[in-house]
Amino acid sequence: MLKVKYFGHSAFLLDNGKEKIIIDPFIPDKNLATEEDLKVNYIVLTHGHSDHFGNALELAKNNDATIISVYELANYCGSQDVKAHGMCVGGSHDFSFGKVKLTIAHHSSSHEGQYMGSAVGAIITIDSKNVYHCGDTGLFYDMKLIGELTPIDLMLVPIGDNYTMGVDDAAKAVEFCNPKAVIPMHYNTFPLINADSDLFADKVKKIGKKAIIVKPGETIEI
């Protein structure tokens, strides 16, 4: 079983009992992450914006963990004396826990005003489960292709609107990608991205798919 813990915003921890991978470690309520949670082996970053980058450098340093991200962002992290592995869209690579493949995401990416390459999504394969973290993105039709090439067990999709898809487009994204289950993310962190996750769940149910509303701090198993 793969444990998936949600920390709020776009931050998730994948734990197979042997290794821990944290994705976009911006954790709005620090109390929701235990000391054990933060003993991670890898950090996957979808882009450089502070609401995703979080304290990635500190996490990497504390654990001698490797940051996995797009090339430019990985180079920046490497220049800050942490281990980093750079990739680009469409590329996949095997790590000790499984595989990461980067996908497109329609968004921007910078860190402290510096250009950080493309924003991406990531398909993380661990314990024979494919988890697709969309990153920050608008809707795109190739989500259909992504789901066709890699059957997705769990899709993590932004619904907060303004910077990413809103509820309607996110439901369409689920229809395109056709995952076994979906968790909404990137909403209700601050007023500008408030969204109704129940409405999203309803829309997803109407197309015969399953949305799991996970509260920050909760863990599910897939």
Smallest gap from Cβ 180 to Ni ion, in A, equals 26
Residue 136, interface with Ni ion (CB under 5 A)? yes
Smallest gap from Cβ 35 to Mn ion, in A, equals 26
Smaller CB separation from Mn ion, 15 or 51: 51
CB 196 within 8 Å of CB 161: no
Smaller CB separation from Mn ion, 187 or 200: 187
Smallest gap from Cβ 51 to Ni ion, in A, equals 6
* C-alpha radius of gyration, the chain, whole number: 16
Q: How many residues bind Ni ion (CB under 5 A)?
A: 2
**Binds 133: which of Mn ion, Ni ion, none (CB < 5-8 Å by kind):** none
Residue 136, interface with Mn ion (CB under 5 A)? yes
Distance (Å, whole) CA 179 – CA 153: 6
Smallest gap from Cβ 9 to Ni ion, in A, equals 10
Smaller CB separation from Mn ion, 77 or 165: 165
* Collapsed DSSP state (helix, strand, coil) of residue 102: strand
**And the tokens for 139?**
């809707």
Of residues 5, 9, 20, 49, which one binds Ni ion by CB under 5 A? 49
Q: Which stretch binds Mn ion (CB under 5 A): 58-66, 94-102, 130-138, 201-209?
A: 130-138
| DSSP tag of 180 | S
Which residue is it, tokens 């990416």?
A: 109
CB 104 within 8 Å of CB 119: no
Handedness of CA 141, 143, 147, 150 (dihedral sign): positive
Of residues 15, 24, 51, 169, which one binds Mn ion by CB under 5 A? 51
Distance (Å, whole) CA 167 – CA 204: 10
CB 17 within 8 Å of CB 37: no
Question: Which residues of this protein are in contact with Mn ion, per CB under 5 A?
Answer: 51, 136
Question: Which residues of this protein are in contact with Ni ion, per CB under 5 A?
Answer: 49, 136
